[in-house]
């Protein structure tokens, strides 16, 4: 297992109302979410900073 | 009789919070808030002051990953009389610092009467790496998470019910600009993000209380140290507050445990209010509580490096200038007193329009 830092952008207009589930689903494309937060919002674009774990990496 | 008034106090770590971004400097807020709330749920960043701490009998010391799961309604909290704390030491800690930490643990046993298992040293250096993101928040990664988890498993097998982790952090350069700012009560704690990652790993894997204290070589004396940063320069370890907090941290309830419900168990639906810095609403616990409709107080003067106010996310907030005002709002809320009634003016009630029924035509 490794821990990896990443950022991603989320369009709030299309993210539904359960942002926790939406963000964690987006992070799961990169690994298992460990810690994350939306750190900036500009208009409808939210930046998420996160650390995920990746098995076998 | 009213149900217990339950408050959640969240101050994210590693984001340069003006209150709570330094060395246990949000503990006064927690102490004051705990006199209004019947139960205060908060996290190590708020309650830890290195060698300083304050036992609050109605405060629940909940690590951030567990707090996120609690807020999402996936895990509950079960208060305990005591935990047996297991101590995990990073193999990379130099011998003298390792001995200092073992002495701190023995002191907590002898002086505070805390219950602990024997300690575990990780089978590899954990390899803590620090990072500052574009937002200004600090994060971190560790190179050997599996080694940490193996050590945790060993301590749990030895009877630990909560885990204190001491990881070796890269030596500070006293001339480093970030460190200088932190010691003078400005900027962002460079270690905090990595500390959170370490405890999150353990809690996610084992669903037990966990908190972290860094192992750091002492810094040269600085006669201009800021009061908010001073608690971390009193001695050789930051471990005492962690051991004290974990000794009574609630256990986590969830699908991983088959326990029968107990009267003191706490779940997210019992939360009456949450208090959050006004520009740091993008965390998992905050988003979950807001979505549940929990009344949320945004504290304006606790600024951070983040730029995520509630209105940017379309979330409703009760605005307070300071924690003093937030605590006043909580007192009114707990008493069932309308906030409007505390002000100098109150507008008269107005008639609500009743929809006119249209005659039914078959």
Residue pLDDT, tens place only, A13-40: 888 889 999 999 999 999 999 999 999 9
Q: Residue B336 has what DSSP assignment?
A: T
Most B CBs within 10 A among A35, A45, A53, A56, hence the mutation to make, goes to A35
Strand ranges in B145-240 using DSSP code E only, listed in sequence order: 162-168, 210-215
Say if residues B283 and B10 touch (Cβ distance below 8 Å). Answer: yes
Q: Is residue B36 predicted with pLDDT exceeding 80?
A: yes
Q: Is residue B361 predicted with pLDDT exceeding 80?
A: no
Q: What percent of chain B has pLDDT over 90?
A: 79
Of A3, A20, A48, the CB nearest to B72: A20
Say if residues B16 and B304 touch (Cβ distance below 8 Å). Answer: yes
Asked if A34 is an interface residue toward chain B (Cβ–Cβ < 8 A), one would say yes
Q: What angle in degrees, to the nearest 10, is found between the helix axes of B64-71 and B284-291?
A: 20
Tens of pLDDT, residue by residue over B286-333, are 999 999 999 999 999 999 999 999 999 999 999 999 999 999 999 999
What's the rounded mean pLDDT across residues B78-84? Answer: 97
What's the rounded mean pLDDT across residues B35-50? Answer: 97
Q: What percent of chain B has pLDDT over 70?
A: 99
Asked if B64 is an interface residue toward chain A (Cβ–Cβ < 8 A), one would say yes
Asked if A54 is an interface residue toward chain B (Cβ–Cβ < 8 A), one would say no
Backbone φ and ψ for B59, nearest 5 degrees, come out as: -105, 140
**Exposed, middle or buried: residue B338 (CB in 10 Å: 0-12, 13-18, 19+)?**
exposed
Which of chain A's residues have a Cβ under 8 Å away from the Cβ of B284?
Answer: 20, 23, 36-37
Start-end of H helices in B57-191: 64-71, 95-112, 145-157, 177-183
Q: Which residue of A has its CA nearest to B201?
A: A34
Higher pLDDT residue, B361 or B73?
B73
Look up residue B98 and give its two tokens. 């390792």
Tens of pLDDT, residue by residue over B164-211, are 999 998 877 777 888 888 888 888 888 888 899 999 999 999 999 999
What does the alpha-carbon distance between residue A36 and residue A16 come to, in Å, rounded to a whole number?
Answer: 18
Q: How far is A29 from chain B (nearest CA, A)?
A: 18
Start-to-end CA distance of chain A, whole Å, equals 6
The three-state secondary structure class of A46 is strand
Question: Which residues 310-329 on chain B approach chain A with CB closer than 8 angstroms?
Answer: 312-314
What's the ipTM?
0.96
- Mean pLDDT, chain B, as a whole number? 94
Asked if B201 is an interface residue toward chain A (Cβ–Cβ < 8 A), one would say yes
Q: Is residue A57 predicted with pLDDT exceeding 70?
A: no
Residue B153 CB partners (closer than 8 Å, separation 6+)? B206
**Exposed, middle or buried: residue B327 (CB in 10 Å: 0-12, 13-18, 19+)?**
buried
At B362 the pLDDT is 63
Query: Nearest-CA neighbor of B227 among B177, B183, B175?
Result: B183
């Amino acid at each position: 297992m490794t821990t990896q830092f990443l950022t991603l952008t989320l369009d709030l207009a299309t993210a539904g109302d359960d942002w926790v589930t939406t963000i964690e689903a987006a992070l799961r494309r990169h690994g298992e979410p460990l810690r994350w937060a939306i750190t900036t919002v500009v208009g409808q674009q939210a930046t998420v900073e996160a650390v995920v774990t990746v098995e076998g990496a | 009789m009213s149900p217990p008034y339950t408050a959640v106090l969240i101050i994210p770590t590693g984001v340069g919070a003006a209150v709570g971004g330094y060395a246990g400097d949000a503990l006064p807020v927690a102490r004051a808030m705990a006199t209004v709330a019947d139960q205060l749920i908060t996290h190590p960043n708020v309650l830890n002051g290195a060698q300083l701490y304050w036992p609050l009998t109605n405060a629940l010391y909940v690590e951030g990953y567990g707090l996120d799961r609690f807020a999402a309604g996936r895990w509950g909290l079960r208060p305990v009389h005591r935990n047996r704390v297991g101590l995990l030491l990073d193999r990379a800690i130099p011998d003298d610092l390792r001995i200092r930490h073992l002495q701190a643990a023995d002191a907590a046993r002898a002086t505070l009467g805390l219950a602990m298992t024997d300690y575990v040293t990780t089978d590899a250096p954990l390899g803590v790496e620090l990072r500052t993101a574009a937002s200004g928040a600090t994060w971190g990664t560790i190179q050997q998470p599996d080694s940490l988890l193996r050590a945790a498993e060993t301590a749990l097998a030895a009877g630990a019910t909560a885990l204190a982790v001491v990881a070796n952090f890269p030596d500070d350069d006293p001339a480093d600009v970030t460190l200088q700012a932190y010691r003078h009560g400005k900027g962002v704690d460079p270690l905090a993000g990595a500390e959170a990652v370490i405890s999150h790993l353990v809690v996610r894997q084992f669903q037990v209380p966990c908190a972290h204290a860094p192992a750091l070589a002492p810094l040269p004396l600085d006669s201009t140290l800021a009061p908010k940063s001073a608690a971390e320069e009193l001695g050789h370890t930051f471990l005492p507050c962690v051991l004290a907090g974990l000794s009574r941290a609630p256990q986590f309830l969830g699908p991983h445990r088959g326990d029968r419900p107990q009267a003191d168990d706490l779940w997210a639906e019992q939360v009456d209010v949450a208090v959050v810095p006004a520009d740091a609403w993008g965390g998992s616990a905050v988003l979950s509580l807001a979505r549940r409709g929990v009344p949320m107080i945004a504290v304006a003067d606790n600024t951070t490096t983040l730029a995520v106010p509630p209105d940017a996310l379309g979330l409703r907030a009760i605005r307070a200038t300071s924690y003093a005002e937030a605590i006043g709002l909580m007192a009114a809320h707990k008493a069932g007193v309308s906030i409007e009634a505390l002000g100098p003016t109150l507008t008269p009630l107005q008639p609500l329009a009743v929809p006119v029924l249209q005659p039914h035509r078959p």
